[in-house]
Amino acid sequence: MPNFTDVAEFILLGLTCRQELRVLFFVVFLIVYSITLVGNIGMIILIRVSPQLQSPMYFFLSHLSFVDVWFSSNVTPKMLENLISKTKTISYVGCLVQCYFFIALVHVEVYILAVMAFDRYMAICNPLLYSSKMSRTVCVRLISVPYVYGFSVSLICTLWTYGLYFCGNFEINHFYCADPPLIKIACGGVHIKEYTMIVIAGINFTYSLSVVLVSYTLIVVAVLRMRSAEGRRKAFSTCGSHLTAVSMFYGTLIFMYLRRPTEESVEQGKMVAVFYTTVIPMLNPMIYSLRNKDVKEAVNKAIAKGNLGR
């Protein structure tokens, strides 16, 4: 029988053990995290104060930015601390809390992306009914479901993580507490956690991605039927930013969670995790603003208003 031991804390091995690279990574990720906070919080404020951005699409986008702020903040500060600290530990409770919020926010984000795809379908395929079908009440209900569902599913998944037992190896080959590396070092309760992780991730990613794919299939059909070239261009431009964000987020998560944890997959997943925990939250505001005429105009008006206030 395995000799189970009580866990007080884990050691996060991080991205690298080389001192010169740790300093470089600290500077790079500190800049990325700062840009993430400024970009997403700025997007939230801009949507709230700009009259031309008071539509369902921007309402959902503000929630995507809100989730990105917390998603990045759940991981990056601890990663930055460990890059410059000699002791790279995280308490057992802190590890479970980080797992809980990570799983919750991942589920919230994938379903917000699905809701945003549905919103684009309603706007392009049912423009005459869009205002009535996507009322403020409906939007609030649609955005509430990802939060309630995400945090509920995460509670169940974290309880399964709590069911893992360890036999003396407390070194997590990652820069935050993630299920695959935890499963890799556990010596008890592994099978139920491993299979439930794959099944739950598979069900939720498949369902939410199906909503996105069906919505955009119907959008493409509707756009191709448009007689106006300008109408087609405008429809595709409003969808291009969202498709870019969906492709990056889903692609990296599927690579991370829809396969069995092995030494090789955990090491590869660590590199991929850098992308979806730090880079994507930074890029989302840029993706949605650089290719969006309404957001550009709102930014220019806010800048002009600020200059006049001086």
40 with 285: CB under 8 angstroms?
A: yes
Q: Give the domain CATH number at 169.
A: 1.20.1070.10
Over 80: is that where the pLDDT of 160 sits? yes
Looking at residue 68, its pLDDT comes to: 93
**Each residue of 196-224: b (16+ CB within 10 Å) or e?**
bbbebbeebbeebbebbeebbeebeebbe
At 1-45, the pLDDT tens digits run 455 667 788 988 888 777 778 888 899 999 999 999 999 999 899
Looking at residue 225, its pLDDT comes to: 80
Query: Is residue 1 situated within a structural domain?
Result: no
Task: Specify the pairing of strand 89-91 against strand 171-172.
Answer: unpaired
Q: Residue 93 sits in which domain range?
A: 9-303
pTM here is 0.88
Query: Is residue 51 situated within a structural domain?
Result: yes
Query: Is residue 183 situated within a structural domain?
Result: yes
Query: Is residue 310 situated within a structural domain?
Result: no
Query: Is residue 308 situated within a structural domain?
Result: no
- Domain total of the chain: 1
154 with 108: CB under 8 angstroms?
A: no
Q: Which of 86-100, 267-281, 295-309 is modeled with the greatest confidence? A: 86-100
The HSE-up count of residue 256 (CA atoms within 13 Å, CB side) is: 24
Phi/psi of residue 231, each to 5°?
-65, -40
> Mean of the per-residue pLDDT values for the chain?
84
54 with 138: CB under 8 angstroms?
A: no
Tokens of 157: 């998944």
